[in-house]
Every structure is written in C-alpha cells, then in structure tokens.
Structure 1
Amino acid sequence: MPRKPNAKDVAREAGVSTATVDRVLNSRGGVAAEKEARVLEAARRLKLDRMLDQRPARTIRIAVLLQPPANPFHAELQAGFQAARRMHAGLNMEFRIHHLVPTEPAKVAAQIDSLGGSHDGFVVCALHDPAIAAALDRQIARGRAVLTIGTDIRTEGERVYVGPDNIRSGRVAGDLMGRLIGPPGGAVLVIAGLLSMIGHEQREQGFRAVLAERHPACSVAAVVESREDSGRAGELVFRALRDRPDLRGIYNASAGSREVADAIRAAGRARDLVVITHELTEDRRKLLREGLIDAVIDQNPALEVRMAVEVLAARFGRLDKGPATTLTPVQIHMVETC
C-alpha cells in the first residue's frame, strides 16, 4: 500500500524548505505569494488530505479599478467584486475598489503605480492608453497579476482578458439593427463612449462590418463619442435627430441609455427609431419594457466577476485551475425576455 504524502514531499515538489511548507500548511503566514502558490499547488497535486480545504493565511489583495457607480455597468461590476470576498471566503482574497476617471489616463497610470506596492494584482476596466499600458507593464514586471475586464488593454507583459468578444458583440448589434430596420434601410447613429477603449472600438468595427456585408441599405451616418458621459450622450442624440431627420436607428455602445431615451422622446421619435445598446442593467430593463430600447446585448457582469475571481485564485494557487474560457457569451435581450 503506497504511503501518504507528507510535508517533505510537498517541499521537494514545490522546491522550497520544509519550514516554508509548515508555515503554509499551518496558516502561520509570512510566506511570499509566489512560494505559497507553489506549496498549495504541490499539496493539491500530491493530494495531501489536509490541504484540500485549507484556507491560506496570507490575504491576497487585488486592486479593482473601475469607473464610479454612476455608470450602471461599472456599478454592477463593483457590486460583484464587493460580494466576491464573502462568497469566496475560503480563498482569502480581498478585492479593493478604486474609482478612476476614464478620460484622464495619466491619473489612472499614477493610481496603478501608487497601488502596486500594497497589492498583489490588478483588475482594470479602462481605455487603452500608452501610459496605462506602461504602468501595468511595470506591475507585471514586479510579479503582479494583471487582468483586464470588459475591455482589453494591450500590454507587453502577460495579462488575462475577461469579457465578451466585442467584435462579435458589435456584429450581433449590426445584424439586429439591419433586420429590425428592414429592407428599406436607412441611416444609423453610432455612439461610442471612447474609441480609445478597445471594446468600444471593436464594437463599432463589428457593427459597421456586418452592415456592409448583410444590410447594405443601412449606413452609418456618424460615429460620435460620449466620453462616458451620460448627459453628453443625450445631447449628441438630440442634436443628431434635429440635424438628421432621416435617422432610422441608434446604436449606443456605451452609457447614457436613459438620457438617450429622453432625447428621443423630446424629439418625438419614440416610435420610429430602432435603438440597440449593451448591458442589461435595471434601467435598461425598464426602457425595454417602455419600448424605448429594442434590444440589449449583455455581457453578464456577474459572470465576468466570477471568471475573474477564478482566474486570479488559480494564479495564486488558491484553486487548482481557472475557468475553461475567459470569454463571456453574447446574450440578446428584448422586451419579452426582460
């Protein structure tokens, strides 16, 4: 009968001392994150019974950089991460929320630099900017885990992206727009938050591409940026409807659905425009029921948070493995599904 593995076996497998294994196995703390992860992984690989449900002593601290909760999608992400520590207490991971200003990349980069010394990793939902990418690369070089969520940031170092395939999401929006407008076609206004946000850029690309391929009677009248400002989104729509009475559709790839709906209502166009947007927040459910939005393409922020937690837990040896995929499925919601 084979003998059961012991601490010496774990030490040999992990390439650490037996004293280090003892500190991890008995939750005494004082072990670097990288070594702790190796010990936990080795213990699980060897099926050391007392490690199967072991709660690590060291708290892993993750900085989560999001927009303030005035943005409904970011509010849902924030709520998800705030709940994650309670729901996954056995992982001993702390998710600390830090708000960023989406239009001030230099300040976001400075935030990342200032938080690096007190955090083991980052979750970031922000635009792609050389200063932000460089700040994340500095953290990656220091051994910090970096995960982008909802929209990617192109770093030189290794990162993980969790979220939708935004090109595909844009294509779905374009196909829906073409089908709902119908054979006569017409002009469509596209509202991006920030085209320097990779997710918004990709949505616009996918939307435009599928119109050209499948719905040539529909055309993009203009692509405008709300700069993630809901009030500005409403103003852009009001001006567009005033200047382009031929508009047949609005594709809002970002925030401000309530303000966009108010502008449509003020222009007297509530019944003759096709409106498609993203993220099934509570206010957008209501707008679907009111007939002021025709379709919402959702990326499921709760699922994104769960995936992010699993990715980071696996990265730090708190789980055997992460999720099978980090891409969330495209989900289409219309009035009958909300």
Structure 2
Amino acid sequence: MSPLKTPGFRDVADQAGVSVTTVERVLNERGSVSPQTRMKVLEAAERLQLRRVLPSPDYGNLRIEAILPKNPTPYWAKLSAGLKNAAKLLPRGIALYRTFVPENDPPAMIRAIAASKMRRSALIVAAEVNDEIADTLASVAGQGEIVVLVSSKLPELPVQTFSGVDNVAAGRTAASLINFARSGRESKVLVLQANSTLQSHRDRIEGFTTTIGQRFSIDIVMTHEMPGASWRIVNEMLAQDRVPDAIYETGDSGDEIATLLRGMENRPIWIGHERNAAHDQLMREGLLDFVLDQDPDRQARWAMRHILSQLGVAGSKFTTVKRPELRLFCAANLQDFDS
C-alpha cells in the first residue's frame, strides 16, 4: 500500500485474511464474528493505523435484546426474571436488554423486532403466530442477527432455533394422565384453552385431542387469559349440572376455580400448567392433581448458551446448560423441587 494512501476496510481485510463484510461487522460492532476473527481484525486495523475509534477487545459491547409480551401471569414473570438472572453471568462487554410489548398486538411486536432502539447482535423473542412477524424475524436473521424463540414456536418461520419444551408432548401427557385416572370410563372433559395466538397452546390442544380416549367427550372453551374467565365457565357448567370429570387448563389461571372445586364430594381431576406458589398450595391441599411446567429459567439460560456459542464465546458459564425439558409436578414430589 502506498504510504500516501489512507488505509480502508479492504486493506484491513487483506491484512487479517478475512472478507470486507467481516471487517465491517467487527468495526461497526454488529456481532456474529468469533472472538479469534474479531481480534485478528482489530490487530490488523491497529497495525494499519486505521483512522477511526476501534471497538474494545472485550467482545465490543455486544447487545442481546429479549422481546416479551406484557402479561401478568407468573410464567412470563419467571421467564423475564430468568433472563435477568442469566444476564448477570454474561461475559464483560455483552449485555442483555428486555423490551416488553402489548400482548396480541402484532404491529407492536413487528416494530420492536424491526426498529429496535439499539444495535443488536442477537434477539430472544416470544411471539404469537403471525405471517408478518415471521417474515420480520426472517429478515433480521438474514441481516446477521442471531434469533432464538422462547416459549412458543412460529410455524411460518422456515428455520428457527427454539428454546422451549415439546408442547404437543405436554398435551399428550395431560391426556395420558386423564386416561389412566379414568381407566377407560365414559367421562366428560373440560379443556380451558388460555390462548389462540401462541403456537404453544395450539400444540397442547393437538397433543391432548389426539391422545385422549374415545370414550371421553371433550368441551374446549377459550378463556383468552382474561381474569375470571375460567371461574365463570366452570361455574356455569356446575349451575347447569354439567359437572366435568376432568379439567385441563392449557395456561396458568392460578387458583381461580379452586373455590368451586373445594368441598365437592367427587371433584374433577384438575391438570394445569406452570409451577408457581399458588399451584404448589393447591397441590398440597389436594385440589390440583398435576402441573406441567416448561422450566422458564432453563429456557432463558439455554437461549443464552446458544447465542454465546454462535458468537464464538468460549468457556461461558452456560456451556453445561441442557435443553429445556417438560417437568411434571404433583403433591407427592413437591419436596424434591421446592423453589
């Protein structure tokens, strides 16, 4: 290179033995470059005395954003807390930011994904089923961002990394427990579907309906996670003397229907989702039989593990985190899993 020529990205790329695109990603702190390659680029830029402020060697202030719905149920609070706790274990120079958007508001979710206020290297997102959301996620992934879905998959997204449990298997598990408990007897089952826009709830319904025995009549009612909806539905059935033999809730309604079941001589089998303090108490009381839990804390940590692996961060504190697994709780095993 001529001593009179000001070095540029092409010169740095030649010195480091990488592409100009890689140089641009490193110097503009866009992530998705291994630490080894990043250091080669920075060293080459320094040798050439590139006229610009170079990023810090410590991962370059990489930013991870988590976009979650504003939802008051304990599950979402636990997932958010899990992400916050996981962020404390990130290496120096990598930070996590949490963004909350209105639930069931696809335009708000799309804006959060496409027009972030920060320059991201990775995105953790819990999104409802929507073609435009899937297209937007595919677009940001195509631009080099690492994308991890938590809690719920998106069928419209051709390639996706999912940190969560098999929700079809969760529905099958609930049906199998009822099949076993009722021993093939003709029975009425009430399914309270909490959500229609998240694939996780659709998957649970699919698994349940394909596994429940043929001698069961099933009534599926949507609650939309509205406060009081589960209570009103069950109360109306009891008033009409249509007492179900089993109740399966695909979401977390806390202890809403407990007051209706308490004191019944032959109460229905009750299966719910997500372990929390209210559900623990109901299981100990003998009202709630089983709780299926998707371990939001491990979902958060596995998502972080995948992102750090893709960024090429070696020896992180998440390397031993296993993929999230469905957990089954009942009164008999609570002492082994106390929070």
The TM-score range, normalised by the shorter chain, is 0.7 to 0.9
Bigger helix fraction: 1
Higher mean Cα deviation, 61-70 or 273-282? 61-70
C-alpha distance in structure 1 between counterparts of 2:168 and 2:319, whole Å = 22
Deviation at 1:218, TM superposition (A): 2.2
Pairs within 5 Å for 1:61-140: 61-68=63-70, 70-90=72-92, 92-115=93-116, 118-140=119-141
Indicate the SS of the match to 1:118: coil
Which AA in structure 2 matches 1:60? L
Query: What is the root-mean-square deviation of aligned Cα atoms in Å?
Result: 3.4
1:160 counterpart residue number: 161
| TM-aligned CA distance change 1:158 to 1:325, over 3 Å | farther
Q: Which residue pairs with 1:337 in the alignment?
A: 333
Q: CA offsets per residue over residues 303-334 of structure 1, 9 Å max, x none?
A: 11111000111122224798799752222111
Deviation at residue 94 of structure 1 after TM alignment: 2.1
| Superposition map of 1:202-217 within 5 A | 202-211=203-212, 215-217=213-215
Q: Does residue 284 of structure 2 align to residue 310 of structure 1?
A: no
Structure 1 residue 185, shift from structure 2 partner: 3.5
What corresponds to 1:58 in structure 2? Answer: 60
Corresponding residue of 1:242: 239
Matches of 1:55 and 1:240, distance apart in 2: 64
| Contact preservation (8 Å) 2:34, 2:313 | no
- For these two proteins, the number of residue pairs brought into alignment is 306
What is the letter of the counterpart of residue 281 of structure 1?
N
Radius of gyration: which is bigger? 2
Q: 1:183 to 1:30 in 2, by over 3 A?
A: closer
Aligned 8 A contact 2:129 2:198 in 1: yes
Q: Distance in 2 between matches of 1:158 and 1:42?
A: 31
Change (3 A) 1:149 1:181: same
Identity %: 21
Q: 1:87 aligns to what SS in structure 2?
A: coil
The Cα of 1:120 is off from its aligned counterpart by 2.4
Unaligned runs of 5+ in 2: 1-12, 42-55, 335-339
Point out the more displaced range, 54-63 or 93-102: 54-63
Sort the Cα spacing of 1:320 and 1:11 in 2 relative to 1 into closer, same or farther, 3 A.
Answer: farther
The question of 1:295 aligning with 2:297 is answered no
Task: Please tell me whether the aligned partners of residues 127 and 194 of structure 1 are also in contact (alpha carbons under 8 angstroms).
Answer: no
In structure 2, the residue matched to 1:146 is 147
Equivalent residue letter for 1:64: A
Of 239-248 and 34-43, deviating more is: 34-43
The 3-state SS of whatever aligns with 2:247 is strand
Structure 1 range deviating more: 232-241 or 68-77: 232-241
Structure 1 residue runs of 5 or longer lacking an equivalent are 1-7, 44-53
Paired with 2:36 and 2:185, the residues of 1 have a C-alpha distance of 62
Runs of 4+ aligned residues of structure 1 deviating over 4 Å after TM superposition are: 40-43, 320-327
On the 8 A contact 1:163/1:326 being kept in 2, the answer is no
